[in-house]
């Protein structure tokens, strides 16, 4: 395990294509979230200070705009997230989302 590795953090970064589709601001945002996760562990799903304010697809009012976990750079196939703990719905969302403009319809 590396110096900054933290139990519960899936050591996975992004493909070149994913990074190229992010704006410079989003890339800095994504890297900052990644570093926070390495230092502090993954966010929990709740709405308080340690929470990502995650909700599942049944409660997501932004699905039609493409604002879903499956479009987020942190999404992991199989229903997981690189920075938020627990089981994650492909059509869910949290306050930490980083989704390229081309996948957004807003
Ligand atoms: S929106 Fe992104 S960061 Fe938030 S839970 Fe979904 S995949 Fe993870």
- Looking at ligand 1, which atom is closest to the CA of residue 54? 5
Q: Is 94 in the pocket of ligand 1 (CB under 6 A)?
A: yes
Domain boundaries, the chain: 16-103
Residue 62 CB neighbours (<10 A): 14
Q: Distance of CA 56 to CAs 13, 41, 46, Å?
A: 24, 21, 12
Q: Is 69 in the pocket of ligand 1 (CB under 6 A)?
A: yes
Say if ligand 1 is within 6 A of residue 96 CB: yes
Chunked into runs of 10 residues, the chain (106 residues) has average pLDDT values of: 43 73 93 94 97 98 97 94 97 97 94
The whole model's pTM is what?
A: 0.87
Helices (H), the chain: 16-20, 24-40
pLDDT value of residue 56:
98
Which residue's alpha carbon is nearest to atom 6 within ligand 1?
69
Is the CB–ligand 1 distance for residue 43 below 6 Å? no
pLDDT tens digits for 50-78?
A: 999 999 999 999 999 999 999 999 999 99
* Alpha carbon nearest to ligand 1 atom 5, residue: 94
Domain 16-103 architecture: Irregular (4.10)
């Amino acid at each position: 395990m590396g110096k900054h590795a933290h139990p519960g953090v899936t050591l996975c970064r992004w493909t070149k294509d994913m990074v190229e589709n992010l704006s410079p601001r989003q890339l800095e945002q994504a890297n900052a979230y990644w570093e926070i996760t390495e230092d502090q562990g993954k966010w929990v799903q709740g709405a308080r200070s340690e929470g990502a304010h995650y909700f599942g697809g049944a409660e997501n009012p932004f699905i039609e705009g493409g604002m879903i976990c499956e479009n987020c750079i942190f999404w992991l196939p199989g229903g997981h997230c690189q920075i938020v703990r627990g089981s994650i719905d492909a059509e869910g969302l949290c306050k930490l989302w980083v989704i390229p403009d081309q996948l957004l319809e807003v």
